[in-house]
Amino acid sequence: MTKVKQTKHKIRHRKRESKPYHSLPRKKYLRYTYPE
């Protein structure tokens, strides 16, 4: 049960962090993260 709770919290945190990039197209965001 603790593991599930931790995972849930992590997902929640990740969603919060990716919010600013949500407006950007996924392709553009990927380009910024992994420049080729």
- Domain boundaries of the chain, sorted by first residue: 2-33
Residue 10: predicted pLDDT = 59
The C-alpha atoms of residue 25 and residue 32 are separated, in whole angstroms, by 11
pLDDT given for residue 23 in this prediction: 55
Nearest-angstrom CA–CA distance, 17 and 14: 5
Q: What is the pLDDT of residue 3?
A: 62
The pTM for the full model equals 0.16
Low-confidence ranges of the chain (pLDDT < 50): none
The reported pLDDT for the residue numbered 22 is 54
The pLDDT value recorded for residue 25 is 60
Is-contact 29 21, C-beta < 8 A? yes
